[in-house]
């Protein structure tokens, strides 16, 4: 799923969402893997503000989802967000975070552990 929109200062900004299947990595390991993925993609899409959002596979967000609206919008499902990275136009990291979230019934989506970097 790709969503293109203009931000307030009228420069081009791209937001991309990804679904992560069967993540077994620790938060700092996941951070390194996702950060490298983002940096590789930024080489192709240079000179754009870019936000990457990574979601875990769950009952609300199954692996076999499609763009026809099988479930609520990704932005409406923050309890399954496990990684977010914001980059400036010059490809420098503004903010990056990965999270391990609870999957139990009573505290579903609570952050159990996180790893963050800011510039």
According to the 3-state scheme, what is the secondary structure of 68-115?
Answer: CCCCCCHHHCHHHEEEEEEECCCCCEEEEEEEEECCCCCCCCCEEEEE
Beta-bridge partner residues of 99: 114
Name residue, tokens 């505290």: 107
Q: Determine if the pTM surpasses 0.95.
A: no
Q: How far is CA 114 from the centre of its chain?
A: 14
User: Domains of the chain: which residue ranges?
Assistant: 2-118
pLDDT (tens place) for every residue of the chain, 119 residues total: 334 444 445 567 788 888 888 888 899 999 999 999 998 888 776 677 888 988 888 777 666 655 554 445 555 578 888 999 999 888 889 999 999 988 888 888 888 988 888 77
């Amino acid at each position: 799923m790709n969503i293109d929109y203009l931000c307030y200062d009228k420069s081009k900004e791209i937001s991309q969402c990804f679904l992560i299947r069967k993540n077994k990595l620790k938060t700092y390991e996941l951070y390194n893997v996702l950060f490298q993925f983002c940096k590789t993609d930024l080489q192709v899409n240079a000179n754009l503000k870019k936000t990457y959002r990574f979601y875990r596979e769950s009952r609300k967000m199954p692996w076999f989802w499609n763009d026809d609206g099988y479930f609520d919008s990704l932005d409406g499902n923050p309890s399954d967000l496990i990684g977010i990275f914001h980059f400036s136009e010059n490809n420098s990291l503004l903010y990056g975070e990965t999270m391990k979230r609870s999957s139990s019934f009573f505290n579903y989506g609570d952050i159990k552990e996180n790893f963050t970097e800011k510039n």
